[in-house]
Amino acid sequence: MSKIKGCIFDLDGVIVDTAKYHYLAWKRLANELGFEFTEEQNERLKGVSRMKSLDILLEIGKLNFSDEEKLQLAEKKNNWYIEYISNMNSNEILPGAKEFLQIVRNNGIKTSLGSVSKNSMTILNNLDLAKYFDAIIDGNKVTHAKPNPEVFVLGAREIGVPEQSCVVFEDAVSGIEAAINAGMYSIGIGSKKVLNKANIVIDSLADMKIEMLELL
Ligand code: BG6
Ligand code: MG
């Protein structure tokens, strides 16, 4: 019997290839405001809420705006992002994601989404992915972005699994920190160098085997 009873998945960059669209939209905003924004700088925005992301972006660009103006800038970015994701198709489901979700469920392990994106439901519905999750926690249900553990703690509560029996799958540094703050195991999807606090790091869910949960 596995000690892992719940798997909590981030969405952007773990299940679907949308992290690139967030980056493109932020970069477009930065360029329009007159500064460059690199992929390396973008690591700081992953897993971070929309408004917090904007604050980091403006800090990089050394620009100040009023709260009112910031809301408008965030809305502009989000409209571009929605435009990008409206053309998404199943090719943008990341390798191995659906297959691993199915295997997890077949093994009697509960699944939850744990994303701070307010656009999560749109993506899950467009790609018919909602059916793979026993619980869905998104940006509309939480008040604190990662690395605050709220999104994962709520996920564990909704699937009825104690924190210490959950593992989080994450592509963001802030997400791995949130998992640690929640008292959960974590599996990083991406670079070992960037996600060095995770228990295990893999390139994609295509490399994930259910037996690996025993290694945690
Ligand atoms: C996270 C992304 O999943 O959602 C962040 O990693 C993004 O890059 C955040 O800023 C909020 O998303 P949204 O769709 O609510 O703007
Ligand atoms: Mg992510």
Residue 101 vs residues 105, 128, 137, 167, 177: alpha-carbon distances, Å: 6, 13, 16, 13, 23
| 10 & 80 share domain | no
211 located within any domain: yes
> How much is the pLDDT for 87?
87
Predicted confidence (pLDDT) per residue in 121-130, tens digit: 999 999 999 9
Domain boundary among 85, 111, 132: 85
Task: Give me the CATH number covering residue 46.
Answer: 1.10.150.240
| 155 & 169 share domain | yes
Question: What mean pLDDT is reported for the chain?
Answer: 96
Residue 55 vs residues 19, 26, 37, 44: alpha-carbon distances, Å: 18, 11, 13, 11
| 97 & 77 share domain | no
183 located within any domain: yes
Per the CB < 8 A criterion, the answer to whether 107 and 27 are in contact is: no
Q: Residue range 159-184: average pLDDT? A: 97
Domain boundary among 29, 55, 85: 85
| pLDDT at residue 159 is higher than 90 | yes
- Calculate how far, in angstroms, residue 215's C-alpha sits from the geometric centre of ligand 1: 30
Task: Give me the CATH number covering residue 171.
Answer: 3.40.50.1000
- Calculate how far, in angstroms, residue 213's C-alpha sits from the geometric centre of ligand 1: 27
Predicted confidence (pLDDT) per residue in 66-91, tens digit: 999 999 999 999 999 999 999 899 99
| 147 & 56 share domain | no
Q: Residue range 156-161: average pLDDT? A: 98
| 78 & 157 share domain | no
| 153 & 198 share domain | yes
| 104 & 47 share domain | no
Predicted confidence (pLDDT) per residue in 139-151, tens digit: 999 999 899 999 9
**80 is in which domain, residue-wise?**
19-85
> How much is the pLDDT for 73?
98
Closest ligand to Cα 15: 2
| 136 & 39 share domain | no
1 located within any domain: no
| 32 & 114 share domain | no
Residue 28 vs residues 36, 144, 166, 172: alpha-carbon distances, Å: 9, 26, 37, 21
| pLDDT at residue 2 is higher than 80 | no
Q: Classify residue 193 as exposed, middle or buried by CB count within 10 Å of its CB (0-12, 13-18, 19+).
A: exposed
Band of residue 47 on the pLDDT scale cut at 50, 70, 90: confident
What is the domain count for the chain?
2
| 51 & 122 share domain | no
Q: Residue range 185-194: average pLDDT? A: 97
> How much is the pLDDT for 153?
98
Ligand 1 pocket by Cβ (under 6 Å): 11-12, 22, 45-50, 53, 78, 115-119, 139, 172
| pLDDT at residue 117 is higher than 80 | yes
Domain boundary among 85, 103, 136: 85
| pLDDT at residue 101 is higher than 80 | yes
96 CB neighbour count, 10 Å cutoff: 17
| 120 & 162 share domain | yes
168 located within any domain: yes
| pLDDT at residue 1 is higher than 80 | no
| 75 & 98 share domain | no
